[in-house]
Chain A
């Protein structure tokens, strides 16, 4: 399967790339399938001091309902994020300390679709790699550890409660989506965090942290063979639990069978507007446009080997829509400049297209002096421009800009590794980016404009100053 793209795509469509060695950003990229089915990559970026490694599981905040071992489970909001915290509990204290002692900076993040664990450092890469591998595929969580971490997570949730940027974004997703679990808050609420049981966390770990559900990327001046061998060795050792140890997920002879359960999501937003008051000085607003996706069949995600034509079509739409969003909302657009002149947006304004296998939306907004007026003017501006569409020179300039950013990304190990990884989680190969960028046509972008940026697809989220 070497040709792809959506049916009817223009000739010269970029090919679907099989997972195999090649180059990325002018540097070698190596691929290997490791024990347990782990998909592993090494981007050999030479010349930099740091080395970076990241594991991600296709388990995020939106994996809230699933079937496994003949039972259906629904987990409280914030479960994936809680599990991210617990991964660092080694049973003998916090692994954060262990990495830190090596001079290694370690961290993790949870998104709607995934949880990722990563480290960077100039030295001690090998012991850190071994520890990261262990930390991801084994679990040592205890009820006592869970109780202690619950308090820390509650503080994290409260910190985000005080952030107007987080609030306005969460509210937008709840307005755009009626049923889809992307509307669930990634960290959960203080209340939902209180209700997450240790057994739930363990079940999620067993189900979703098997190597077959993970992607691994290492980046830096590294010998790829040594990296693959190191990870493979650790995985094999962990297959046999030691005395008193919880079996590693690799101990399962075959990958766990699970099915994600997604509700039917209507194509249009649930609410046109959501507005709340917060104790802040400055209003803020976001306008979102919902890009419908077909409801997925209950299934495991594509294990992405080889990448599927639908993934490629999705990637192409993502690239096209990011160009479109920049043309329509970027600082060279009439819309941006009109709103800026009237004090309705400022430097904090940003716009982008967010895309995953089961959801997608464009979003624009930021701080403002009058949120309702800013949102209304933005929607008017879009409606006014839509009939005219966009012109070829605009597309060419944004294409050049996007290509330059891709070139510059090679200066950031973490940036490139994370982008490559998030693409792999969706079954996409970032190496096809320059080709796809070149293949996007004006018609394609204008068609997306006409389809997506219509008032009925829009939701508005507003934060007004005042007592909550």
Chain B
């Protein structure tokens, strides 16, 4: 019989190697830039390979206690209807007529920013290539400009519908109350919130329940108009689009922006009931999480079958920094893939967990390590994680591991070309970090990273917080230094000989 793959991968002399992925020759995704106004940009990603056209409007604001809850509520209210399609049956019926187009609104969190967004996508039967995008741009603009009015009959009155605001406040309150029902995402949120105490990114993207009572249709509408007039707007058009479609969409958004500013100016005049003053659409880039002075351990009780362990690392390196590509490789070695250290040690060798991985929070310089374990294995699991972090900090990884990680990282970067969502949100992340690229080709920088650069980088990550969601009944020792104990050594002292 012929040799198995593992034999094929073994070079003469017994050294294992992989089939190296080369990525430099691959053309990137072009990004057309269309400035709509100061602080408002349309990025166009022409992709004739897709059968679906995608549009996104994303307004960004710095997360703050004053506005996070309004930011979470507004997109839900807007999704209920517009002046032309003032309720769900009419709005969603319109979408069905567009061959089952989808319309989604959301408030998400990227680093220190809250992204208030509306997305439209529409499959494009060949005969209708241009129609979908034009309809979509009109609909998205209308969604923000002309929400379903409060009047009892179609299209009457101004402002937001009190009925919709009230129903969506209730729905948001129920979602806020239930965040702990998804154990994994709750544990991630809690670890991050503990790490980022006092920073904007400690806030939950759903906002705070205590704020809901103070929000009424008038205040939420003022929030809406302020957002439209002052928040930076990042828009995307991706898919099989030509110049005609691009122009149509740009014009639609430009006229929307002009109206939004005009309305704000009118409202800002003396004697006007509301005081929105047009301001430059600018925002500070997300800030890197500062270096912790000590490790913290948080054990949160919960009635769970499986305990959730999350370990937050501070790395100091965010998207756009020179050593960011090395960080991607580092995270890949640590826990990005199923050949990575965490999966192998915690699942394959120790059998402690079903999942064990690490994830980069690209704009914060944070890595979250996550696994689901039996609570009794807490100390053992933390010990294994610590051991791997220390090994990597010593530069202790093989060439084969590095090549495997490089392959996986490059393949994942190239695979983005197949996904409009990955292209759009990957680019938006760079916008949040303050450095939008003119072409999407992340594999280029990643392919240049050397093992030496990763070894250099690997000395820097430090544990900030060890978080456990578990029954917490037993005394558990993780070997973590408790709050208030020994301050962390300075960086250079932590280096191993």
Q: Which residues of A contact B (CB under 8 A)?
A: 25-26, 46-50, 90, 92-94, 96-106, 120-124, 127, 130-131, 134, 148-149, 151-153, 155-156, 158-159, 161-164, 237-238, 240-242, 279-282, 330-334, 336-337, 340-341, 343, 346-347, 367, 369, 397-398, 400-405, 407-408, 410-411, 413, 467-468
Contacts and interface: CB of A to CB of B under 8 A. Distances in A.
Contact of A280 (B175, B178, B411): B178
A322 to B, nearest CB: 13
Contacts of B1: 237-238, 240-242
B372 interface: yes
A101 B170 contact: no
Interface string B163-183: 000010011001101101101
B123 A405 contact: yes
A403 B99 CA distance: 7
A127 B99 contact: no
A123 B19 contact: yes
A468 B125 CA distance: 50
Contact of A101 (B167, B183, B407): B407
Interface stretch (B37-45, B88-96, B148-156, B311-319): B88-96
A47 B5 CA distance: 28
A407 B125 contact: yes
Nearest to A280: B181
A443 to B, nearest CB: 22
Interface string B315-349: 00000000000000000000001111001100110
Q: What 3 pairs across the A-B complex have the smallest Cβ distances?
A: A404-B99, A103-B411, A401-B100
A344 to B, nearest CB: 11
B462 interface: no
Interface residues of B, number: 78
A330 B180 CA distance: 28
Contacts of B420: 411
A387 to B, nearest CB: 21
B19 to A, nearest CB: 5
B275 interface: no
B372 to A, nearest CB: 5
B306 interface: yes
A204 B49 CA distance: 42
A369 B306 CA distance: 26
Contacts of A397: 93, 96-97
A281 B181 contact: yes
B174 A343 contact: yes
Nearest to B351: A151
Contacts of B4: 131, 134
Contacts of A99: 338
A413 B50 CA distance: 12
Contacts of B215: none
Contacts of A26: 51
Contacts of B98: 404
A103 to B, nearest CB: 3
A238 B171 CA distance: 57
Contacts of B96: 332, 397-398, 400-401
A347 to B, nearest CB: 8
A103 B18 CA distance: 9
Given A164-B181, A404-B101, A159 B303 contact: no
Contact of B88 (A92, A102, A332, A343): A332
Given A397-B96, A400-B96, A401-B100, A158 B305 contact: yes
A408 B239 CA distance: 11
Contacts of A123: 19, 21, 407, 410-411, 414
A241 B2 CA distance: 11
B51 A100 contact: no
A121 B411 contact: yes
Given A104-B411, A407-B125, A411-B52, A127 B5 contact: yes
Given A331-B89, A407-B123, 8 more contacts: A25-B51, A101-B403, A127-B9, A237-B2, A241-B1, A346-B174, A407-B124, A467-B303
Contact of B6 (A98, A346, A405): A98
Given A97-B339, A159-B372, A411-B50, A343 B99 contact: no
A48 B339 contact: no
Contacts of A282: 174, 177-178, 181
B306 A159 contact: yes
B112 to A, nearest CB: 26
Interface string B1-24: 110111011000000001101000
A274 B55 CA distance: 43
A92 B6 contact: yes
Contacts of B373: 155
B266 interface: no
Nearest to A401: B100
Contacts of B411: 103-105, 121-124
B136 to A, nearest CB: 13
Contacts of A337: 87-89
A122 B414 contact: yes
Contacts of B410: 103, 123
Given A96-B338, A282-B177, A127 B354 contact: no
A291 to B, nearest CB: 25
B304 interface: yes
Contacts of B344: 97
A97 B351 contact: no
A158 B352 CA distance: 12
A98 B354 CA distance: 18
A403 B306 CA distance: 42
Chain B CB within 10 A, most for which of A101, A123, A397, A467: A101
9 contacts: A47-B48, A48-B418, A50-B415, A94-B338, A158-B374, A159-B355, A332-B89, A332-B93, A405-B100
B417 interface: yes
A162 B373 CA distance: 12
B138 interface: no
B353 interface: yes
B114 interface: no
B454 interface: no
Nearest to B49: A47
Contacts of B418: 48-50, 413
B176 to A, nearest CB: 10
B205 interface: no
Contacts of A346: 171, 174-175
Chain A CB within 10 A, most for which of B100, B183, B337, B373: B100
Contacts of A402: 100
Interface string B291-308: 000000000001111100
A93 B420 CA distance: 36
Contacts of A103: 21, 407-412
Given A152-B351, A337-B87, A408-B123, A343 B167 contact: yes
Contacts of A96: 338-339, 343
A100 B48 CA distance: 30
A404 B409 CA distance: 34
Chain A CB within 10 A, most for which of B339, B412, B417: B339
B404 interface: yes
Nearest to A85: B354
B5 A98 contact: yes
A263 B423 CA distance: 50
A359 B121 CA distance: 34
Contacts of A120: 415
Chain A CB within 10 A, most for which of B2, B8, B373, B411: B411
B19 A281 contact: no
Contacts of B408: 100-101, 103
Contacts of B97: 397, 400
B415 A122 contact: yes
Contact of A100 (B93, B100, B338): B338
Contacts of A411: 50-52, 420
Interface in B371-422: 372-374, 400, 403-404, 407-412, 414-415, 417-418, 420
Chain A CB within 10 A, most for which of B9, B89, B180: B89
B348 A127 contact: no
